[in-house]
Amino acid sequence: MEETTGRSTKKKVVVVGGGLVGALNACFFAKRGFDVEVFETREDIRIAKVVKGRSINLALSHRGRQALKHVGMEEKIVSKGIPMHARMIHSLSGKQSPIPYGRKGQFILSVDRANLNKELLTAAEIYPNTRLNFDHKLQDWSAETGLMTFARSDGSNEQIKADLIVGCDGAFSAIRKQFLRRSRFNYSQTYIPHGYMELTMPPINGEFAMKPNYLHIWPRNTFMMIALPNLDKTFTCTLFMPFEEFEKITTGDEVIEFFQKYFPDTIPLIGVDALKTDYFRLPAQAMVSIKCSPYHIGDKCVLMGDAAHAVVPFYGQGMNAGFEDCLVFEEIMDQLNEDFSTVLPEYTRVRVPDDHAIADLAMYNYVEMRAHVNSKWFLFRKRVDNILHFLMPKTITPLYTMVTFTRTRYHEAVDSWHWQNKVVNRGLLLSATGAVLGGSYLLIKNPPDINKLMVPAEKMWDRLVALWTPLRTLI
């Protein structure tokens, strides 16, 4: 395969953004022998002391792991991850109920974002054909010439050209700006009304404050909290709620009052004083969903990760999808012999429907959770899923299982889910019809005293509404 190993004969690939997806991509391209350069706005996070930024830990699942495996990084990352075999649902009363993700071997991992990013940068740097440039912020670039301009913190500029530009510069991508200026580029972005805030739950007597091998969830409709374990035995709790509600809380006492009402079991675990100060340390962060297409310009430039598709975090798939982007690109590079002029359009053709599907799913789950997911409903739904899967393992696979534990294309997972819902609904309809017919027969055979059975008309409406709301979501 490597008929020409000399670096000079290999094309130059510039990866813009040294975040999770950029660093992983650098490994993929370096492994193929390209002359790789990464440009990243921030300082080298392996040297810098404080790393501020987005969520502290992330749920890593199958798709992300498969991509890591391809560059020989899976073991290294998994060994520093904390397995989560089940969700732990916290009800308002403080009751905790575990719901397994699947069989024994099916678990997701809580991984530290900063560590993951550092390991990937180091892995990329080991290839002699890779160079990392920090403190380089892409200012502008030309889709015609491929010339990029980077700004440095000392005020200087640097210009560089590449054969291929890989835009991995996140949700507010500077690379994507040039796409937006072109004809027939589709773009949509939606900010959701919710913001998020991270709070730390410290260890108690040197041990995790809650059971560590779980994804802890407090589903409270509009308000939701999620906690993932860290290696230092802390939990990072992420509170999701509408900005409007965040703004209503302006004093420490109001914070405690709010937690008393919705997350009382967490107050002693986070600590009253810590809660009061943590809450005001950073303002709530926004969440945006972004879809676009195509993902490429000619044979020159391609978008991956959040730059191509930012998704709301309600499926735990943003990074996983971004990592899978790299793997899908890699697979197409194999099929089409690294010919950028055919690889790039093919990547767009294959990947857009899947990334759009996961963006839609994550948004759908956000709407769903906000509308009527309290702890009872969450438990009920997941149990129904698991029972159906147990009864008909060949026919029914829960959607989250296909998304989280397989590499079933996202858009196929959605199609399969729709089909399964049809099957289940037909089954329900059939059983219901059977019950009505059977019941009618029995009623006709032995007629009861009507007056004792009648529901007063004024209560009928409430009953219908109560029935319809949960049924609608089942459909």
* 238/266 with CB nearer ligand FAD: 238
* 357/396 with CB nearer ligand FAD: 357
Computed on alpha carbons and rounded to an integer, the radius of gyration of the chain in Å comes to 25
* 168/357 with CB nearer ligand FAD: 168
Binding at 217: pick from ligand EGU, ligand FAD, none (beta carbon under 5-8 Å per type): ligand EGU
Q: Is 19 in the site for ligand FAD (CB under 6 A)?
A: yes
| Interface pattern 195-224 for ligand FAD (x via CB under 6 A) | -x----------------------------
- Report in angstroms how near the CB of residue 64 gets to ligand EGU at its nearest: 11
Q: Is 54 in the site for ligand FAD (CB under 6 A)?
A: yes
> Nearest residue to ligand EGU, using CB?
316
Q: Is 81 in the site for ligand FAD (CB under 6 A)?
A: no
Binding at 20: pick from ligand FAD, ligand EGU, none (beta carbon under 5-8 Å per type): ligand FAD
- Report in angstroms how near the CB of residue 48 gets to ligand EGU at its nearest: 22
Q: Is 229 in the site for ligand FAD (CB under 6 A)?
A: no
Is residue 333 within 8 A of residue 350, CB to CB? The reply is: no
Among 13, 14, 15, 21, binds ligand FAD (CB under 6 A): 21
Q: Which of residues 126-185 bind ligand FAD (CB under 6 A)?
A: 137-138, 168-170, 174
* 57/408 with CB nearer ligand EGU: 57
* 134/417 with CB nearer ligand EGU: 417
Among the listed residues 356, 251, 247, 245, the one whose alpha carbon sits nearest the alpha carbon of residue 295: 356
Residue 169, exposed/middle/buried by CB under 10 A (0-12, 13-18, 19+)?
A: buried
- Report in angstroms how near the CB of residue 12 gets to ligand FAD at its nearest: 17
* 55/200 with CB nearer ligand FAD: 55
Q: Which of residues 30-49 bind ligand FAD (CB under 6 A)?
A: 39-42
Binding at 39: pick from ligand FAD, ligand EGU, none (beta carbon under 5-8 Å per type): ligand FAD
Among the listed residues 188, 372, 214, 157, the one whose alpha carbon sits nearest the alpha carbon of residue 288: 188
Give the interface with ligand FAD as residue ranges (CB under 6 A).
16-22, 39-42, 54-55, 58-59, 137-138, 168-170, 174, 196, 238, 287, 305-307, 313, 316-320, 322
